[in-house]
Amino acid sequence: MFSISEKSILSSRLLSFLIAFSMFLLISSSLSLIEFEENSFVPKSVLQLIPNLVSNASVNNQIPNAIIVDAQESPVKSPVFPNETLNNTISVDEPEEKHLTRKCDKTKAHLKVYMHDLPPKFHFGLLGWNAPANQTWPSLTDRVKLPSYPGGLNLQHSTEYWLTLDLLSSSNKDIVRPCTAIRVENSSEADVIFVPFFSSLSYNRFSKHRQNRKGSGDKVLQEELVNFLVKTKEWKRSRGKDHLIVAHHPNSMLIARRKLGSCMFVLSDFGRYSSRIANLKKDVIAPYKHMVRSIAADNSPLFDERPILAYFQGAIYRKDGGAIRHELYYLLKNEKDVHFTFGSAHQSTGVREAGKGMAHSKFCLNIAGDTPSSNRLFDAIATHCVPVIISDEIELPFEDVLDYSEFCVFVRAKDAVRKGHLLNILRGIKNERWSRMWEKLKEISGRFEYEFPSRENDAVDMIWQTVSRKNVSTRLSVHRKNRYTRSQFRLRM
């Protein structure tokens, strides 16, 4: 039997619970109103300054669809054989074998990762892999038979492929790799839940075929993914906060990301995201896979062996931030020691030419295109050509452990277009200072190499390290959110 006072305590608790719950509904419905902010071409800083602007739906409706669809240079579809894909990634640094062990001890791994066994159509099926019945993942024992990622421009966003292969290989005793991340079978033990959807490839493959059916294949896959994920106990447990989703192509996951925005994304930049859906606190910036061949440290041309002062080859843009390319072109086109041409560097022979050009240039320009980032930065690093970054909104991979000012020159866009300014800066950097940056480039270029099997401090390993550093802040926010929901759960019991 309850006493009177116990009853009234119970009912007042019930009442306060109801109040809290309706407050929650009110807040979450008003938050969903500002969700569309993401595609906006209005600079993010402006939106942050004027929160009210965000809730005006017309901001979103002004965005021409075409810009989003064909914004990236269209993919070239030449196949890359596994032997080439894997060989393409020779690291310049020798691996430090002493840190590698055959058996990776689960208790020593920085990051325990549970990977959803999504059906093959979400990952290796997109590579044309015909999964044998009852088999979700390809076997890693015969590397030549491994499904390879399509070549050309597709490859620059292949992060999804390398991370998935690396997790698969973490349970293969014959593969030697760093022990940063390890796959666990029991999701309760995991720090992170990895979602193996090859979203960039799905965009490159399927997004263009949209007219005939109810939606593109890419859209259908994204919707199926959302339906699957939000029902899992792993998602419900953390509301997605400990999930890792790779969306490296700026146009990938455009549909699903609104519903999965609480997760950690692996992205190339935040150019097409609102700061609510993607931000540095929870997300990971990953490098593009470079297109040109990397040069070995002891083959790298010196200052005097690089006759070209500044190198740029790229597409003409057209929209938004890309206008600066035109302005720079007119400023630089008559300089004898500047290579500045428009045109895709990535058609077969073009890549080899670009690689050679960059390796014989002191500085390589990275000018904002229609997205703040591009693979040009990583091509420059691979050829030890000191990057000059003219892209105010760029996000840089692993910047919490790398100080890019040690090996890059940053010039604000508004300064770069002042007559003579850029050339003055570059000509002012003499052999000694340039060589310090070049030494640093040689030291860190291995951090941008995607490899299979992965090696210590290569791109794959660096991504896992970054994720494990996020773990701390993610867990903190999961636990803070649990404060009241968990207490109320106990109260009802």
Ligand X SMILES: *[C@@H]1O[C@H](CO)[C@@H](O)[C@H](O)[C@H]1NC(C)=O
- Which parts of this chain interact with ligand X (CB under 6 A)? 56, 58, 81, 83-84, 87, 90, 110-111, 133-134, 186, 188-189, 191, 468, 471-472, 475
- Identify which of residues 189 and 406 has a Cβ nearer to ligand X in the complex: 189
CB of 433 to ligand X, least distance (A): 31
Q: Which is nearer to ligand X, 64 or 428 (CB)?
A: 64
* Tokens of residue 62, six digits: 């002004």
The gap from C-alpha 61 to its chain's centroid, in whole angstroms, comes to 27
With b for 16 or more beta-carbon neighbours within 10 A and e for fewer, the 463-486 pattern comes to: bbbbbbbbbeebeeeeeeeeeeee
Residue 365 · residue 389 · CB < 8 Å = no
Nearer to ligand X, 25 or 133 (CB): 133
At its nearest, how many Å lie between ligand X and the CB of residue 359?
15
Name residue 479's amino acid. Answer: H
Q: Tokens for 267?
A: 């992205």
Measure the CA–CA gap between 8 and 5, rounded to whole angstroms.
Answer: 5
CB closer to ligand X, 177 vs 339: 177
Contact of 323 with 272, CB cutoff 8 Å: no
* Smaller CB separation from ligand X, 296 or 402: 296
Measured distance CA(266)–CA(201) in Å, rounded: 14
Q: How far is the CB of 299 from ligand X (least distance, A)?
A: 11
* Distance from C-alpha of 121 to C-alpha of 202, rounded to nearest angstrom: 10
Nearest-approach distance from CB 111 to ligand X, in angstroms: 6
CB of 5 or CB of 134, closer to ligand X: 134
CB of 110 to ligand X, least distance (A): 5
Q: Nearest approach, Cβ of 426 to ligand X (angstroms)?
A: 32
Judged by beta carbon, residue 82 or residue 350, the one nearer ligand X is 82
**437, 431 contact by CB (below 8 A):** no
On whether the CB atoms of residues 80 and 444 are closer than 8 A, the answer is no
Closer residue to ligand X, CB minimum distance, 186 or 405:
186
| Least Å from the CB of residue 222 to ligand X | 27
Q: In angstroms, what is the minimal distance from the CB of 98 to ligand X?
A: 22
Closest-CB residue for ligand X? Answer: 133
